[in-house]
Structure 1
């Protein structure tokens, strides 16, 4: 048989289902599957038919033994026909006990999508376990497989799940789910790539190596992050003193009376300023005191006279 050396090698139970599927397809294509599965038996009478069957069986045996490891081959080393080999392999790797069915079902429902795994690999693994259960006469519906897949997806697919649940029932097929998940995987990867590029740009843009602290004048940190032992209070006092030196009396100008030597808030002619203290004048009226005459010009914005007669 041409190409008998190509294809997957049977390594044991871990790849039995995939190997069996591929092997059955190839054997069917070469007209040998009926011989391997025992539906076409060896004729009892010798003749052309018996010789044709023997030729098919020899080709099938060659195909089987060249597609398995030496460890697997030990199980069929005593078999005399391809049908015996196939039946022996099935008995070893397809144990249909209640315990084995329970183990596969548990593995199916516990299987989760993990970060870093390709979506196609995850979906193929789910489908493989479904097929394995089907071979054990424990068929699982596509609707249950869809529910299992959706429950296994991480938080990144939350919007996809919401969109899927709002889709029409006739569109919620397993094949449609597979196609849309593969597209969604590409979209999420592109979004992550853009986010990583943006973060890298921001980190490069705000590199603290070029940042200068205005407290200690050193590079590498902001003033709010400075661990210098400089006393904040002394720094504040120094700043006030510097401002006081820059704005001494000779430079100060009042914007109310346009005179130098004081600020507008200190101007005694400014009636709108807030004075914290009151200037009180007490005097006793007599016949010599004239009401139109002030004793002191305090500069107050308002004047109150209390007349006390004696």
Structure 2
């Protein structure tokens, strides 16, 4: 059963993981022996058709190995291997470029390990993967860093929002091993995610309450929180709920005001027709 396997394309920073994955694909496709040069190209013997066919068969397999390598390399890096004729040449050229163990490479990895900081928008998983990837690369160059130093670097690479977590870890008698601290950081990050919905619900409820209070204040800015609502009509705008001296409406024209006052006087003088009359 044929299955398509996708790997991360080779770039400037992922050679170590790319190398393992590319080798696995070549082994799966029965092409690794062409790349590592254990199966060399047969020599062509003059007037020997079988040797010619064997060489042609080898060329076809080697071209397939080259194709697998090219398809797993970032387009920006293809210029490095454009002049390679065989898959073995291509493999060795990539190793010479990206597998450098000189002082410059070590300094670059150490700088990344020390200066790389996690921000609140970045995922904890991605940050920890990058951190320990640098540690593994330095170990491969025979440069090991003490566990306590790695734990301290981790603690001070996380954001200030983790200050309480940092203090709790530092208050212990011994610092946890880097791998243990990694697990605790992931657990703390997950716990914070689970607390966020409850916090958001509380903030939403508080916001609704503040909105209602602000609306009430707009409707009647002179009313205190413990004061009962005004039950009568305003003499200025005719709306129930506030007094004329607290009315925010523009003053009515004199003719309208006079007519409104006349109506109110009329209502005061002549009670409702449906009310009972005492005899």
Q: Which has the higher contact order (CA 8 A, sep 6+)?
A: 2
Q: Summarize the Cα distance change of 1:196–1:6 in structure 2 as closer, same or farther, 3 Å threshold.
A: closer
- Give 2:20's aligned residue: 21
Higher helix share goes to which structure? Answer: 2
**Rg bigger for which structure?**
1
- Give 1:7's aligned residue: 7
Q: Aligned to 2:206, which of 196, 202, 205?
A: 202
TM-score w.r.t. length of structure 1: 0.56
1:108 is the counterpart of 2:106 = no
**Structure 1 outlier segments of 4+, above 6 Å:** 43-53, 166-169, 219-222
Deviations 1:257-298 (A, max 9, x none): xxxxxxxxxxxxxxxxxxxxxxxxxxxxxxxxxxxxxxxxxx
1:123 is paired with a residue whose SS is: helix
Instruction: Report if aligned partners of 1:8, 1:19 keep a CA contact under 8 Å in 2.
Output: yes
Task: Give the deviation of 1:43 after TM superposition.
Answer: 6.8
1:81 is the counterpart of 2:86 = yes
Counterparts of 1:241-280 in structure 2, within 5 Å, are: none
Instruction: Report if aligned partners of 1:211, 1:221 keep a CA contact under 8 Å in 2.
Output: no
Instruction: Report if aligned partners of 1:209, 1:220 keep a CA contact under 8 Å in 2.
Output: no
Task: Return the alpha-carbon distance in structure 2 between the equivalents of residues 77 and 4 of structure 1.
Answer: 25
Q: Summarize the Cα distance change of 1:144–1:219 in structure 2 as closer, same or farther, 3 Å threshold.
A: same
Instruction: Report if aligned partners of 2:42, 2:58 keep a CA contact under 8 Å in 1.
Output: no
Q: Summarize the Cα distance change of 1:192–1:4 in structure 2 as closer, same or farther, 3 Å threshold.
A: closer
Q: Which runs of 5+ in 1 are unaligned?
A: 223-310
2:80 is paired with a residue whose SS is: coil
Cα RMSD, aligned residues only: 3.9
Q: Summarize the Cα distance change of 1:188–1:69 in structure 2 as closer, same or farther, 3 Å threshold.
A: closer
Deviations 1:13-68 (A, max 9, x none): 14434322321333344554454345x25277677998887666444222101212
Task: Give the deviation of 1:200 after TM superposition.
Answer: 2.6
Deviations 1:237-259 (A, max 9, x none): xxxxxxxxxxxxxxxxxxxxxxx
- Give 2:35's aligned residue: 36
Task: Give the deviation of 1:120 after TM superposition.
Answer: 0.5
TM-score w.r.t. length of structure 2: 0.61
Instruction: Report if aligned partners of 2:41, 2:59 keep a CA contact under 8 Å in 1.
Output: no
